[in-house]
Structure formats: C-alpha cells, structure tokens
Amino acid sequence: MRLSKGLGALALGAMLAAGSGCARGPAPGRVELRFWAMGREGEVVQELVADFEKLHPGIHVRVQQIPWSAAHEKLLTGHVGGSTPDISQLGNTWIAEFSALNAVEPLGPWLERSSDCNPDSFFAGIFDTNRLEGVVYGVPWYVDTRLLFYRRDLLGEAGYASMPTNWKDWREAMRAIKRRVGPKRFAIFLPANEPTQAEILGLQAGSTLLKDHDSRGAFQDPPFRRAFDFYIGLFREGLAPPVGNSEIANVYQEFAKGTFAMYITGPWNLGQFHDQLPADLQGKWATAALPGPEGPEGGVSLAGGSSLVMFRGSKHKAEAWQLIEYLSQPEQQLRFYHLSGDLPARREAWRDTALSADPRFRSFGVQLGRAVSTPKIPEWENVIAKIQDQAESVIRGAASTDSALAALDREVNVLLEKRRWLLERRRLSGQPVAEAKR
C-alpha cells in the first residue's frame, strides 16, 4: 500500500516535471530562432549573435553547438524526426543531400530582395557549391580549401627556394628532403584516415570522380588511376608515413620536430600553427597553393567551407533571413574571422590588411580562385567514406591498387543504383536530366 502510493506520487511528480521541462521557452512576444552551428564555430558565433539580438530586440537566438563528428547524423535525424532548427550551418558538400530531401528553403527570392547580400560578392567557385540545377539553397558563411603548409627551412636545405608547381618537380623536392632527413623522418604527412588528399589529386588529374550523370564511379578510369598511383607512390617511396591522424597524436609537435616537412591542410591551421609552434619556428613555415599535374593552373583544390541554410519547416523565415544577412555582412565576416580563424566568404572582407598583407593568407586567396566542387549528389558523403576505406587499405598494405579501385567502383555503383533508377524514371517521364556542372 505504502509502496504503491509512493510510486504513484513519484510518477506524478516526475510527469509534472516533464511538463515543466517542455515549457521552457522565450519570453512572450519574442521570436525564438534555433540556430545549429558546428564545432568551434558554434562556440564563437555566440558573440556575433549577442550583437544581433541587440539590434533586433524582438528576436532571441538559441545557438546549439554540435560536434563535427556527429553533425551529419544529427541534421538528418533532425530532418527525419521533424525537429530541424530554423537556420543552420551546413557543410557545402551536404547541400545536395538536404535539397534532395526537400529539407532546405530555396533562397533565390530572399537574395533578390536583399540590398546587401549579392551572389557576385562571394568567391564564384564557392558560391556555385550552393547552387543545384540553378536554384540557390545556401549563402556561403566561410570558405575552406586545402593547400600546402611547409617548412621553408627544410625545403631550402634540400635545394629549393620555393615550392615547385608541378607534380614531377614536387616529387623530386620531396625525394630531396627525404634524402636529407633520413629514415625516421618524412617529406610530407598525408593522414591515412583522410580521403581528402586522394580526392584533390584525382580532381587535379582531371577526374570527375563520378560519371554518367554522377551515377557511376570513375575511379578505375585513367585520370583517377593516374592520381591514385601518384598518391600511393608517395607512401611506397617512403616520402609519406603510412599512418593516420591518431598515430601522429600532435601534428604541431611533429611538424616542429621536422618529422614531416609538408602537410596538406586547411585555413583553421593558420591560427593553430601560429599558436602552437615554438617562437623560433615562426619565420620558418609558409603556405603554398597546391602544385598541379602539369603546372600551377591545374593545381585545383576543394571548394569547401560552410553555408548558412534555412529549413523549410521554419516558422520564422523572415527573422532567419535577417540573421543570415547579418552574418554575411563584410564586417561580421571579418569579426568572425578574427574570432574563429575561418576565412570570409565575402570578397570585400579580404581587403582587410591582415588578410591581404600576409603571404600565408595570400596563398589561400590564390587557391580559392582554383577551387572546384565535388559531385553534388546526396550520396556524396557516403562515397567519400568509401574512398577513404579503400585508400587507407592500400596505404596500409592491406590491398593492391587494382583491387582497391575495382572494389571502390563496385561499391560506389551499388550505392548509386537508386540514383540510376531515379534518373531513368525521370527520363521516362520526359523530364530533362541536367548535365552535372562542376
């Protein structure tokens, strides 16, 4: 008797608590905007958002920080479960996926009415990643591309005054470094658990990665094959250590020790290298745009970064657009850069002296001019994961290049079967199939 009453009271109390837990919300009369941002961006954007709230007293922005490792899953679960935020940061390679899901709002009408936000004021290659079959779904927030960070002193000691600009010379330079540093140290660090390097080299060699309207893998075709051979060759020759990020533990320490002289990475490391490397090394590192197979113009890299998108389910689209517009203003972009180290997507913001004066940043400006996008299909994230699996098994000696690339094509073709069927269905129903543009 006592027990059952006690249980009843407990359950009742807990249910009341559950009710009150749900009731938390903004003060009456204020619109609450839910904004998802990832990783470090989620932390620093709070400061910009606070100022936005001062300008718009009627709007309260609730920022939710999501770790990058879980971001993709969380966004999809949110969409499927009908609990997406009003506005979110979205990696620009994910936009195709979310537009295929009908999850994100086309921004064309909003952009047309905007006085400040205009497609021409962004890097063209980057803005293009937000456009699918002519419809714009995102506004670039910050840009990201990959290029070489290197030790100028080690390259110089090997007899090179500057970074070579074609693959052949680049490899010669790496061999020269390797000859000097000996067996325990390396010319370049290409993390075995990242697909990015293989992806970039493939694009440089002219591979489209996928073919037939992005419905089949093109990994056994000559361009990707050439790039992959070059990539794997760097490991086989001992120029790059066959290890992943976790085995290196601290890249800054190892870079400082000269364990490797080059590293392909992104803009967030500009700040990190500055903060983490010892003072006596600060004059000795530099950045350079990537070499191309035949020369600098072929040295393309990924058009990466994040965009701001608005979800279709949002009930406060006008307010959400105000926030997107605010975060896209050149001054806010610059502030965001100073807080996070993320490079501004607006070209006006690059006129800032800190960005245009430092040669390390200038390399990024150059590289961004050669940024190209990867196939814009919903399955792309999954394809990348498969590239990584196969590349890693070749690097670690668990598979041969032939079998790995054949397996990659096979797996990707299985993965894209649905896409082929959908394209066929669309063709039969008389709709044109747009040629994929890069």
Partner 1 sequence: MKGWVERQQSRAAWAFLSPALLLLGLFFFLPVVAGLALSVTDFDIYAIGDFSTVRFVGLRNYVQAFTNPVFGTALRNTFYFVLVGGPLSVFTSLGAALLVNAPLVRFRTFFRTVFFAPVVTTLVAVAIVWRYLYHPSYGLLNLALGKVGIHPIDWLGDPHWAMPSLILLAVWKNFGYNMLIFLAGLQSIPEELYEASRLDGATAAGRFRHITLPSLGPTFLFVAVMTMIGHFQLFAEPYVMTQGGPLKSTTSVVLLMYQEGFKWWRLGMASAFAFILFMIMLAATWIQMRLQRAEAS
Partner 2 sequence: MRRGFGRILLHVALVVGAILTLTPLLWMISASFMATGEANSLPPRLLPHSPTLEHYVALFARLDLSRYLFNSALNATLVTTLSLCINGLAGYAFAKLRFGGRDRVFRTLMAALVIPAQVGMLPLFLFLKYLGLVNTTWGVIIPGMCSIFGIFMIRQYALGIPDELLDAARMDGAGELRIFRTVVLPLLKPILVTLAVFTFLGTWNDFLWPLIILSDDARYTLPVALANLVGEHVGDTELMMAGSVLTILPVMVLFLVLQRSYIQGVMAGSVKG
> How many residues touch partner 2 (CB under 8 A)?
29
Per CB under 8 A, 79 contacts partner 1: yes
Q: Which of 10, 50, 354, 414 binds partner 2 (CB under 8 A)?
A: 10
Question: Which 155-174 residues touch partner 2, going by CB under 8 A?
Answer: none
Task: Report what 16 binds from partner 1, partner 2, none; CB cut-off 5-8 Å by kind.
Answer: none
Per CB under 8 A, 80 contacts partner 1: yes
Q: Which of 47, 50, 58, 68 binds partner 2 (CB under 8 A)?
A: 68
CA 382, CA 413: separation in Å to the nearest integer? 12
> How many residues touch partner 1 (CB under 8 A)?
32
Nearest C-alpha neighbor of 202 from the set 408, 435, 48: 408
Question: What mask, x for binding partner 1 by CB under 8 A, covers residues 256 to 275?
Answer: --------------------
The residue among 66 and 262 lying less far from partner 2, judged by its C-beta, is 66
Task: Report what 78 binds from partner 1, partner 2, none; CB cut-off 5-8 Å by kind.
Answer: partner 2
The residue among 342 and 379 lying less far from partner 1, judged by its C-beta, is 379
Per CB under 8 A, 50 contacts partner 2: no
Question: What mask, x for binding partner 1 by CB under 8 A, covers residues 288 to 327?
Answer: ----------------------------------------
Per CB under 8 A, 423 contacts partner 1: no
Kind of pairing, strands 216-217 and 260-265?
unpaired
Question: Which 70-129 residues touch partner 2, going by CB under 8 A?
Answer: 70, 74, 77-78, 80-83
The residue among 85 and 293 lying less far from partner 1, judged by its C-beta, is 85
The residue among 13 and 159 lying less far from partner 2, judged by its C-beta, is 13
The first and second tokens of residue 258, run together, are: 């000269």
CA 438, CA 420: separation in Å to the nearest integer? 19
Binding site for partner 1 (CB under 8 A): 69, 72-73, 76-77, 79-80, 97, 100-103, 193, 244, 246-247, 249, 378-379, 381-382, 389, 392-393, 396, 398, 407, 411, 414, 418, 421-422
Q: Could you list the residues that contact partner 2 (CB under 8 A)?
A: 1-4, 7, 10-11, 14-15, 17-18, 21-22, 24, 39, 64-70, 74, 77-78, 80-83
